[in-house]
């Protein structure tokens, strides 16, 4: 009887322990409690755990650090301990590929970052680097936990350090799904791409109240650091989404274009489509008058696989288009001057936007396809005083540094220093093709004629007629691709309808491209 009783008690204790684990898990899943979860939902926001569930493949999430609690006793914090300490961390899969993730829980102390909260994030960051898998951060936090003082700030620094070390090793993506202020903004800024949700997400170093106190400016959170402000004005935000669900869907889609790490290639779908009828249309996109604009996206669409273009920074620096696409199933990065915005010139914002995108693609083995129609750099005091020299050099440096396969298509204008900067053969492009409509010259015919034939024009009985005559003479000589082709600066002049085939065969030929670089710690890009 005694033995049976012992067995019964032992079994009961085991059952109690199992129940205790279940209770603890349920408590962790509740975060800050039902009331705070309801408030989160009423604001149009999902909970941290709901976001992870939507982001990852069904049933693939494995949580790490579920029962971690803070150790602070200041300001009564010892009475407010919640398992997980305001952030969910772990790993799972997206489209069957390993992904590491953290998701801040605003229902727990406003998602504020504590010492242990930061340690949890650092743990998955270290795992991601060691195992060569992307890291996705879902940010929804009021910032550093002020009750903990400097240790919370040190926690941010630990994260920043790892962001920097992981840069170029694994893709890092930040999704801003709530407030992100103060030191909290710098971790996303160190990552590769930032998604923001309209109306519910904000990023700023200092909020509206501080701005009002210091500068006396009246500004709302939305105007100061909302998704639209950072998409259009600052360029901090790469992708904008209408709500949490759309944002997470877009992240899942983006991952299909990216490799796991710097030592791998992006996945290549077994099935891809291309409507061959588009080849008949590509030649008619450009207007007969070379001074008139057109949408370069139409040209891009006629070359890449159907519906494969994913534009990055769509609302910022619209005079240049960058984004991911596929050609014959292969993931590529596309950079293209956009004639419908500022005639496609390069300015400060466009140079920074394109330069950063080029460097990302180069870091992760994504070939580069460039469509060039650039009349030059934008002149003016605003551009010069805001650093067009340095900013233009960023794009130049990015292309010159890139070792991935690089192909350029000169569609129309390729003038001056901008011709060099836009992936010319002289800065390392592998293949440069030009359409018959290409104009490759130091500058436009009108300006060139004015300089070269200044005396003749001034001495003529009819200077205006003489100017037009000399403009036509210069255009006949230089406003074509054949001078460049004669010198080997252009590899071939091709018909527009041949572009896709040339691009496919070119990238196929360059599959095993390898470069031996000078030994150095790193270059000094003109930041």
Give the residue numbers annotated as catalytic, written as ranges: 182-183, 417-418
DSSP conformation letters of 224-290: HHBHHHIIIII---SEEESSHHHHHHHHHHHHTTS-SSTTS-----S-----TTHHHHGGGSS-SST
Distance of alpha carbon 466 from alpha carbon 454, whole angstroms: 10
Question: Strand, coil or helix: what is 34?
Answer: helix
In 67-203, alpha helices (H): 115-131, 150-166, 186-190
Across-strand partners of 226?
202
Q: Count CB neighbours of 289 within 10 A.
A: 6
DSSP conformation letters of 278-293: HHHHGGGSS-SSTTS-
For 119, 133, 222, 441, the CA distances from 487, given in Å and listed in that order, are 59, 45, 54, 13
Eight-class DSSP state of 151 = H
Q: 177, 304, 167: which is closest to 237 by C-alpha? A: 177
For 216, 255, 501, the CA distances from 135, given in Å and listed in that order, are 39, 11, 36
Q: Count CB neighbours of 77 within 10 A.
A: 16
């Amino acid at each position: 009887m005694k033995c049976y009783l012992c067995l019964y008690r032992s079994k009961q204790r085991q059952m109690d322990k199992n129940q205790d684990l279940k209770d603890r898990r349920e408590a962790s899943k509740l975060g800050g409690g039902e009331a705070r979860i309801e408030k989160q939902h009423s604001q149009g926001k999902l909970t941290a755990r709901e976001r992870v569930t939507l982001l990852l493949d069904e049933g693939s999430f494995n949580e790490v650090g579920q029962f971690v609690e803070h150790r602070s006793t200041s300001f009564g914090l010892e009475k407010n301990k919640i398992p997980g300490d305001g952030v969910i961390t772990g790993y799972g899969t997206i489209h069957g590929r390993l992904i590491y993730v953290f998701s801040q829980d605003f229902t727990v102390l406003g998602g504020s970052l504590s010492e242990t909260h930061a340690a949890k994030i650092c743990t998955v960051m270290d795992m991601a680097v060691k195992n060569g898998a992307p890291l996705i951060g879902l940010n929804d936090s009021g910032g550093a936990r002020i009750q903990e003082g400097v240790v919370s700030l040190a926690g941010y620094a630990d994260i920043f350090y790892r962001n920097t070390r992981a840069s170029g090793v694994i893709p890092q993506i930040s999704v801003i799904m709530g407030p992100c202020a103060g030191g909290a903004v710098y971790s996303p800024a160190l990552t590769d791409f930032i998604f923001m949700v309209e109306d519910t997400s904000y990023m700023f170093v200092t909020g509206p109240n501080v701005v009002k106190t210091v500068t006396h400016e009246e500004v709302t959170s939305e105007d100061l650091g909302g998704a639209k402000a950072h998409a259009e004005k600052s360029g901090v935000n790469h992708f904008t989404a209408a709500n949490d669900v759309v944002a997470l869907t877009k992240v899942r889609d983006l991952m299909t274009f990216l490799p796991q790490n710097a030592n791998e290639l992006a996945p290549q779908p077994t099935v891809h489509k291309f409507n061959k009828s588009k080849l008949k249309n590509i030649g008619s996109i450009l207007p007969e008058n070379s001074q008139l604009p057109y949408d370069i996206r139409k040209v891009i669409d006629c070359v890449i696989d159907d519906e494969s273009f994913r534009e990055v920074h769509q609302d910022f620096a619209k005079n240049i288009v960058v984004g991911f696409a596929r050609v014959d199933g292969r993931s590529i990065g596309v950079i293209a001057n956009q004639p419908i915005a500022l005639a496609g010139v390069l300015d400060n914002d466009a140079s920074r936007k394109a330069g950063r995108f080029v460097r990302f693609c180069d870091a992760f083995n994504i070939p580069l396809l460039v469509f060039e129609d650039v009349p030059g750099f934008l002149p003016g005091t605003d551009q010069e005083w805001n650093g067009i020299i340095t900013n233009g050099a960023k794009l130049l440096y990015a292309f010159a540094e890139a070792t991935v396969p690089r192909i350029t298509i000169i569609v129309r204008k390729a003038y001056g220093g901008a011709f060099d900067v836009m992936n010319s053969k002289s800065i390392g492009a592998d293949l440069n093709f030009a359409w018959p409509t290409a104009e490759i010259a130091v500058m436009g015919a009108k300006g060139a004629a004015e300089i070269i034939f200044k005396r003749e024009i001034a001495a003529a009985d009819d200077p205006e007629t003489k100017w037009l005559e000399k403009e036509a003479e210069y255009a006949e000589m230089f406003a074509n691709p054949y001078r460049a082709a004669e010198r080997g600066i252009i590899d071939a002049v091709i018909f527009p309808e041949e572009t896709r085939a040339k691009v496919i065969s070119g990238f196929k030929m360059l599959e095993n491209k390898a470069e031996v670089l000078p030994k150095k710690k790193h270059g000094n890009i003109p930041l």
